[in-house]
């Protein structure tokens, strides 16, 4: 079967059992620099067999995984141990998923950065506590991290929520009030100040408010090397979804307002956002069913992101070019990943509902359940092999 590629070439692929009516297009397989595949320590939520299946089902063949594991990945030995386990699990999955890892920052492990530099995609810094026990909330400790990363030309990916602001809000009843927009704005502005001071490459994970976008725009204008990520849940969900989702919608940083959704879309189309990252953060339904605040924060997203974006493309919210730029071209360049020939074949006209029973993630649920989306991945070419979905 002949399929048009995104680069306007025609390629021949053996997909003959697909419907004649399908509107197929081959895109570069997606890359996501922000997932939590839970190894080691929380394999009951996800492991690299289920994670790899979920990634490929979503059109991704490259992921960069976060270090907030148990134990957290904060030194060379931990990094090597994690790689060994991942390689074993991927072998069993039969999927040659490309991956890279972050090293987690603690208040005094910057001395480990140099040893790990060749083995990692960057340093991950939690300025506010989230899942796991990684936290560096004192500015003097953050300074050392930014300085040493800059010296080694390592990127620092930041979970930017200000711990002190969150703690001051602890008497609040709602997640979006406790982890307020001010907490995110304050931490982003501090991270930008440090990146500017030390000339560190800064990757801002999950920008969620209009104010953060303004700070990013300003910093970019001043020449700070800063990259901004948005997640599908901050684009496609907002505080109104708590009624339907309850703690399934609990995520850090929290869901915001419709106005913030709109500001994020505007920022995408203004060229201020560099990457759409999934922040795939699976937790079991049983864990999520605990009463707040004992319920964990995080939502899965790797299987639905591309389809949500293709559906948004039908609604003229985003172009196909932009999707490829934010889910492939930019992550490949920013993280300096080796180029590959991996493709995702999408059927732009295929309409399907998101159903929990169709998901490959071990957690088995999606905050987007019930949405009818038009545009789905139907096959992936990974390492020159076709995997039909």
Distance of alpha carbon 306 from the chain centroid: 12
Residue 298 interacts with ligand DOR (CB under 6 A): yes or no:
yes
Nearer to ligand DOR, 123 or 251 (CB): 251
Q: Is 65 among the catalytic positions?
A: no
Residues 147, 139 contacting (CB under 8 angstroms)? no
Start-to-end Cα distance in the chain:
16
- In the list Zn ion, ligand DOR, none, the entry touching 251 (Cβ below 5 to 8 angstroms by class) is ligand DOR
Nearer to Zn ion, 211 or 279 (CB): 279
The whole-angstrom separation of Cα 212 and Cα 228 is 10
Nearer to ligand DOR, 253 or 377 (CB): 253
**Binder to ligand DOR among 49, 50, 142, 252 (CB under 6 A)?**
252
Site for ligand DOR in 65-84 (CB under 6 A): 68
Q: Kindly write out the interface string for residues 21-40 of this chain, putting x where it contacts ligand DOR by CB under 6 A and - elsewhere.
A: ---------------x----
The whole-angstrom separation of Cα 381 and Cα 379 is 7
Residue 130 interacts with ligand DOR (CB under 6 A): yes or no:
yes
Classify burial at 287, counting beta carbons within 10 Å of its beta carbon; exposed 0-12, middle 13-18, buried 19 or more: middle
**Binder to ligand DOR among 124, 159, 175, 233 (CB under 6 A)?**
159
The whole-angstrom separation of Cα 32 and Cα 53 is 14
Residue 63 CB, nearest approach to Zn ion (Å) = 12
Residue 297 interacts with ligand DOR (CB under 6 A): yes or no:
yes
Length, in residues, of the chain: 389
Phi and psi at residue 297, to the nearest 5°: -90, 140
Residue 304 interacts with ligand DOR (CB under 6 A): yes or no:
no
Footprint on this chain of Zn ion (rule: CB under 5 A): 159, 205, 279
Nearer to Zn ion, 159 or 186 (CB): 159
Residue 232 interacts with ligand DOR (CB under 6 A): yes or no:
no
Query: In this structure, what token pair is assigned to residue 380?
Result: 């992936």
Residue 147 CB, nearest approach to ligand DOR (Å) = 24
Residue 131 CB, nearest approach to ligand DOR (Å) = 3
Task: Spell out the residues 6+ positions from residue 186 whose beta carbon is closer than 8 angstroms to its own.
Answer: 162, 165
The whole-angstrom separation of Cα 256 and Cα 335 is 28
Phi and psi at residue 149, to the nearest 5°: -60, -40
Site for ligand DOR in 259-288 (CB under 6 A): 281
- What percent of the chain is helix, strand and coil (3-state, nearest 5)? 40, 20, 40
Nearer to ligand DOR, 109 or 250 (CB): 250
Instruction: Give the three-class secondary structure for 357.
Output: helix
Residues at the interface with ligand DOR (CB under 6 A): 36, 68, 130-131, 159, 251-252, 281, 297-298
Query: What residues are labeled active site?
Result: 279
């Amino acid at each position: 079967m002949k399929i048009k590629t995104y680069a306007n070439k025609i390629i021949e692929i053996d997909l003959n059992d697909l419907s004649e009516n399908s509107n197929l297009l081959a895109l570069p397989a997606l890359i996501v620099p922000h997932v939590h595949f839970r190894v080691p320590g929380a394999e009951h939520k996800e492991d690299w067999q289920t994670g790899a299946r979920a990634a490929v089902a979503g059109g991704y063949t490259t992921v960069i995984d976060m270090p907030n594991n148990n134990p957290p990945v904060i030194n060379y030995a931990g990094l090597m141990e994690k790689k060994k386990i991942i390689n074993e699990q991927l072998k069993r999955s039969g999927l040659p998923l490309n991956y890279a890892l972050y090293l987690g920052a603690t208040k005094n492990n910057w001395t480990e950065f140099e040893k790990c530099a060749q083995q990692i995609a960057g340093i991950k810094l939690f300025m506010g506590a989230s899942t796991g026990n990684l936290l560096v909330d004192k500015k003097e400790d953050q300074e050392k991290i930014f300085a040493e990363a800059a010296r080694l030309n390592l990127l620092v990916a930041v979970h930017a929520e200000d711990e002190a602001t969150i703690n001051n809000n602890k008497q609040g009843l709602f997640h979006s009030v406790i982890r307020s927009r001010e907490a995110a704005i304050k931490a982003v502005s501090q991270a930008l100040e440090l990146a500017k001071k030390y000339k560190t490459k800064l990757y801002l994970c999950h920008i969620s408010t209009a104010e953060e976008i303004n700070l990013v725009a300003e910093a970019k204008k001043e020449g700070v090397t800063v990259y901004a990520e948005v997640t599908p849940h901050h684009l496609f969900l907002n505080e109104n979804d708590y009624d339907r989702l309850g703690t399934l919608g609990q995520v850090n940083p929290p869901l915001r307002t419709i106005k913030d959704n709109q500001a994020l879309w505007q920022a995408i189309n203004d060229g201020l956002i560099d990457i759409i990252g999934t922040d795939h953060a699976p937790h079991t339904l049983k864990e999520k069913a605990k009463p707040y605040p004992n319920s964990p924060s995080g939502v899965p997203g790797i299987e639905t992101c591309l389809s949500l974006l293709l559906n948004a493309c039908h609604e003229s919210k985003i172009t196909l070019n932009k999707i490829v730029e934010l889910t492939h071209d930019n992550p490949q360049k920013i993280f300096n990943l080796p180029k590959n020939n991996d493709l995702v074949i999408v059927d732009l006209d295929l309409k399907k509902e998101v159903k929990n029973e169709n998901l490959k993630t071990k957690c088995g649920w999606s905050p987007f359940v019930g949405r009818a989306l038009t545009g789905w991945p139907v096959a992936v070419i990974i390492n020159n092999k076709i995997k039909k979905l």
